[in-house]
Amino acid sequence: MAVGSALGIALRHPPLALSHWLHVAYAAGHLLFIGGLLAALLWLGARLGLRGRRKNAAAFVLATASSAIVIPAELESFAARVGPGAELAIVAAGTLLAGGLAVAAWALGRRLRRVWVATVAIAFAAALAEPFVLPGLYAGLHLYGLVLASLFAAGGRGEREERPRAQRIAFGVAALVALGSIAIPAPAAVRSALARDGGVLLTLLPWPAAELASTGPRVREDVWLRPAGKREPVPPTDLERPAAPVVVLVSIDALRADLIRRDDTRPHLPNLVALAEEGVDFTNAHAPGSMTVNTLTTIFTGTLFSQQRWERGTRWRHLWPLRDPTPRFPELLTDAGVRTIHHPASDWMIDEFGVARGFAVEHYEPPSEPREGSRRWNHSDDLFPRMIASLESLGPEQPAFLYAHWMDPHGPYTRGGVKETDFLSYLAEAEHADRHLGEIRAAIDEAGLAERTFFIVTADHGEGFGERGRTQHAYGLYEELIHVPLVITGPGIEPGTEERLVSLVDLGPTILDVFAQPTPGRMVGQSLLPWLHGRDAELTRPVLAETRLMRSLLTPSGIKVIRDLRRGTLEIYDLNVDPGETEDRVGEPTAEMEAAVAFLDRFFEVHQLRAGGYEPPYRP
């Protein structure tokens, strides 16, 4: 099985360089180690004289106990979505089922032992295909699938007391490779490659993190590396503003940045394209994460995931910033007399969950009827009429901030009709949301608000369509997931295209600035308002992102660093020559790359929340 899986990896990544050969060798070694453990357990069972029902019972207990190591982590996210009280039952049922399947694979192999060559061929084919199935996702299930294939083949082979000398030598070599792959930490480039292919054992191996620590120069003194309490508030910009400004912010789920750039997709989004042409189109905007809840919480707090406090909820068993004390910028606006209005798409976006806390007015209505695949959320169809009603209710002297997050075009991409491919279905759903943007824009004009309204459209994250063999989002911090559209129109804004690097963390300071409010020193963002008015302002804050214990830094010069704390990996890319992030430079970093790694590590060393021993949790 190890040979089959390693061959599959070699076919997926042609091993042309030493690091590729090491990648294959470590992958094979890890699987040989697992196979060795299985063989040892089978040998022990035989020596203990287990037969018949006792042997089956012992095998079931052992298989279930082994499954309990990897299965819960894979089921946790699904169980949390089902609802309160379901998590324990789902995980327990999944673990027992996994244990039963393991015993069944062995038993089936035993029944087919007369055609052992066929059972081995089937298992080998499964191992060969494994690297191509959900690469980089569900490491526990990858491991479990390989174990099932091994048990199926081993059951057919049965126990052998005596083995030929050549076979014993081969087993000895395999044992050395297996032990070496566990005992000797893989180089950083190999470890990152293993993670991208599933990372079967990466979360269990005790490899020292120091081996992957940055070796670059000491981080230069930087204002953003001072503790948040030591940074002074930034006063509002001295710009002329409407007497009673209105800000409408719409974040559209999973909207890729390239949709308004490509010739084949631009015609499908005429309203967003028109807004980009009439206002400022930020072509190099980046989200601070690739999961909706992380990104929105960061936008509203102005802090990163590791700076916030997350804990399990009671209604939805996921982690939420329920008692995170950081003030959200809508709270600051409400206190300043601004009418703040929120139309949540889902119940986890309401005030009590802490993501978008602090709105004076919160209009949440559960979906009137179940929607296929929508997991209890409203779509833009439901939200835009409510937003229009809120706009029409504003008085002539009432400053206001209105926000809604539209869940389309989130999967399963059905709102615009099912098309020939997932991408076309996704594009049709994005077009569906775009029509409502046009209706919001028309309502602003009809309500007489155009002269004082700033209209901001962005996305919480992008969406993958085959990059790295992956789809949808939240699997990493690559450009297809965090490069997002950002368009801002409004009074006094000079139309144009802005190619300099910005972050959605800048939205909070920008909106505060529109209302002539200072930016708190804790916010890791800066106001874009001077740029919107044609002034040349310097943005010094780092462009960071964080999700699932992965952290990234993108520098203005195009160097991208991604550190995965859970799997202990580090990736470095130069987007100037490698915009697709296919050539990991971690094995040959430049001084500039080493400095970027050092800054990333230092930032979180300074700012990570550690009150009462708190450590940032893994949010699946």
One domain for residues 273 and 189: no
DSSP 570: E
What pLDDT digit, counting tens, does each position of 295-326 carry?
A: 999 999 999 999 999 998 776 668 899 999 99
Do 471 and 387 lie in one domain? The reply is yes
| SS3 sequence of 338-405 | CEEEEECCEHHHCHHHCCCCCCCEECCCCCCCCCCCCCCECCHHHHHHHHHHHHHCCCCCCCEEEEEE
Question: Does the pLDDT of residue 200 top 70, yes or no?
Answer: no
Q: Indicate which CATH number applies to the domain containing 366.
A: 3.40.720.10
Structural domain includes residue 219: no
**Mean pLDDT value across residues 412-422:** 86
Beta-carbon count within 10 A of 233 CB: 13
| Residue 257 and residue 183 share a domain | no
User: Among the ranges 91-100, 176-185, 562-571, which has the highest mean pLDDT value?
Assistant: 562-571
- Using CA atoms, how far apart are residues 544 and 552, in angstroms rounded to an integer? 6
Q: What is the mean pLDDT of the chain?
A: 83
Residue 94: pLDDT above 80? Answer: no
Q: Does residue 507 register a pLDDT over 80?
A: yes
Residue 616 DSSP code = P
289-293, 314-318, 327-331, range with the lowest pLDDT: 314-318
Q: How confident is the model at residue 518 (pLDDT cuts 50, 70, 90)?
A: very high
| pLDDT greater than 60 at residue 536 | yes
Residue 202, SS3 per DSSP: coil
125 compared with 320, residue with greater pLDDT: 320
Indicate if the pLDDT at residue 42 is higher than 70.
Answer: no
CA angle 614, 618, 620 (to 5 degrees): 150
Other residues' Cβ atoms within 10 Å of the Cβ of residue 50: 15
The strand pairing partners of 234, in sequence order, are 519
The whole-number pLDDT of residue 374 equals 45
Inside any domain, residue 571: no
What percent of the chain clears pLDDT 90, i.e. is strictly above it? 47
Please tell me whether residues 143 and 256 are part of one structural domain.
Answer: no
- Between residues 267 and 36, which one has the greater pLDDT? 267
Residue among 341, 445, 443, 449 nearest 388 (CA)? 443
Instruction: Specify the amino acid at residue 69.
Output: I
pLDDT at site 205:
65
Residues 105 and 253 in one domain: no
HSE toward the beta carbon, residue 170, CA cutoff 13 A:
6
Is residue 573 assigned to a domain? no
103 with 195, same domain? yes
Angle between helices 2-12 and 116-129 (to 10 degrees): 40
Lowest-confidence pick of 158-167, 480-489, 589-598:
158-167
In this prediction, residue 576 carries a pLDDT of 96
Tell me: do 121 and 178 sit in the same domain: yes
DSSP track, 576-599: TT-TT--S--TTS--HHHHHHHHH
Instruction: Look up tokens 């174990």; give the residue.
Output: 147
- Report the pLDDT averaged over residues 581-607: 91
- The answer to whether residues 329 and 397 belong to one domain is yes
Determine the average pLDDT of the residues in 99-124: 74
Contact 458, 504 (CB under 8 A): yes
Closest CA to 214 of 521, 607, 573, 595: 595
What is the per-residue pLDDT for 198?
Answer: 57
319 forms beta bridges with: 312
Q: What pLDDT was estimated at residue 212? A: 47
Structural domain boundaries, residue 65: 2-204
Domain termination residue (choose one: 147, 174, 204):
204
**Any domain includes 619:** no
Most confidently modeled range among 189-203, 223-237, 348-362:
348-362
Position 568 scores a pLDDT of 82
d(CA 282, CA 275): 12
In a domain, 98, yes or no: yes
Residues 12 and 142 in one domain: yes
Contact between 109 and 153 (Cβ < 8 Å): yes
Task: Give residue 254's pLDDT.
Answer: 95
Q: What pLDDT, on a 0 to 100 scale, did the predictor assign at position 25?
A: 74
What pLDDT band is residue 207 in, cutting at 50, 70 and 90?
low
pLDDT interval class at 218 (50, 70, 90): low
pTM score, whole prediction: 0.84
Cβ within 8 Å of residue 576, ≥6 positions away: 557, 558
Q: How many domains does the chain have?
A: 2
Say if residue 530's pLDDT is above 80: yes
Residue 575 within any structural domain of the chain: no
- Report the pLDDT value the prediction gives residue 595, as an integer from 0 to 100: 92
For residue 59, is pLDDT > 60? yes
Give the distance between the most distant pair of CA atoms in the chain: 92
User: Position 341: which residue type?
Assistant: I
| Residue 206: per-residue pLDDT | 60
Q: Is the pLDDT of residue 347 over 90?
A: no
Residue 44 has pLDDT above 80, yes or no: no
Q: Tell me which amino acid residue 139 is.
A: A
| Whether residue 153 sits in one domain with residue 76 | yes
Name the least confident of 178-182, 203-207, 285-289.
203-207
Q: Do 404 and 433 meet the contact criterion of CB atoms below 8 Å apart?
A: no
Per-residue confidence band for 137, with pLDDT thresholds at 50, 70 and 90: low
> Helix (H, G, I), strand (E, B), or coil: what is residue 274?
helix
Mean pLDDT for the stretch of residues 468-488: 90
- Mean pLDDT in residue range 251-273: 95
Confirm whether 607 is domain-assigned.
no
Q: Which helix (H) or strand (E) holds 459?
A: strand 453-459
> What is the per-residue pLDDT across 367-399, written as a single tens digit (0 to 9) for each?
876 555 445 688 888 899 999 999 999 988 999
Asked if residue 578 is part of any domain, the answer here is no
Torsional sign, CA 584, 587, 593, 597: positive
Map tokens 């070699």 to a residue. 10
Check whether residue 198 and residue 300 sit in a common domain: no
**Residues 77, 86: contact at Cβ < 8 Å?**
no
Based on the domain organization, do 353 and 432 belong to the same domain?
yes
Residue 379 is predicted with a pLDDT of: 85
pLDDT of residue 310: 95
Residue 413, pLDDT score: 87
CA atoms of 185 and 201, how far apart (whole Å): 12
Burial status of residue 582 (CB atoms within 10 A of its CB: 0-12, 13-18, 19 or more): exposed
Q: Is the pLDDT of residue 533 over 60?
A: yes
